[in-house]
Amino acid sequence: MERRLRDLLDIPVFHDDQHGTAIVVMAALTNALRVVGKKLPEVRIAMAWAGAAGTAVLKLNILTGDDIATMASGAIVFALANPDPEVDPDAAGEYAAVVATGRSDYPNQINNVLAFPGVFRGLLDAQSRYISDDMRIAAAQALADVVSPDEVGPHYIIPSVFHPDVTSSVAAAVRDAATAELDR
């Protein structure tokens, strides 16, 4: 449906759960890797589940703290299923260097609302008729950079949805990336 809408409309089409969450996860991963002193090409990323099977998998109480203990040193766990994450965040925290969830009652909440309204503001400012991967990556980098190097740590890899710089930083990055693409 999204692809068809992109073909039919002359405005950016953006799936908030897919692309918004991807932007925020990329931003959080960027800072989580900074915390553990690793770079993306150096790590292995494992996904517990995806797609339609997710709901059924959730009912299996999929991972335990003991599973996290078998991961490499400096492990990063993003347990994003709501309301019940794939692994208990407290149990994961016993072994992982960084834990993030989709829940507001734990630190490092991965919430796609962090991408908005900055992404849309940037697209509107650039008068872009589409959103590209480069624009989404720029949004993720800007969001990661809202957390300064002296602030980033195991319990602070992603800013709060109430952080005053989130919207303007994301908007400027998306605008600049969109403008650069339009100038090509």
Q: What is the value of pTM for the model shown?
A: 0.90
> Are 138 and 22 a contacting pair, CB within 8 Å?
no
80: number of Cβ within 10 Å: 19
When pLDDT is cut at 50, 70 and 90, the band that residue 4 belongs to is very high
Query: Which CATH number is 2-183's, of 1.20.59.10, 3.40.50.970, 3.40.50.720, 1.20.810.10?
Result: 3.40.50.720
Residues listed for the chain: 184
Contact 63, 48 (CB under 8 A): yes
Which of 42, 94, 49, 103 lies closest to 67 in space, CA to CA? 94
| Nearest by Cα to 26 from 122, 170, 128 | 170
Taken in order 111, 115, 117, 120, is the CA torsion positive or negative? negative
Asked whether the beta carbons of 155 and 100 are under 8 A apart, the reply is: no
DSSP 25-44: HHHHHHHHHHHHT--GGG--
Extents of the domains making up the chain: 2-183
Summarize pLDDT for 52-103 with one digit per residue, the tens: 444 444 444 778 899 999 999 999 999 988 888 889 999 999 999 999 999 9
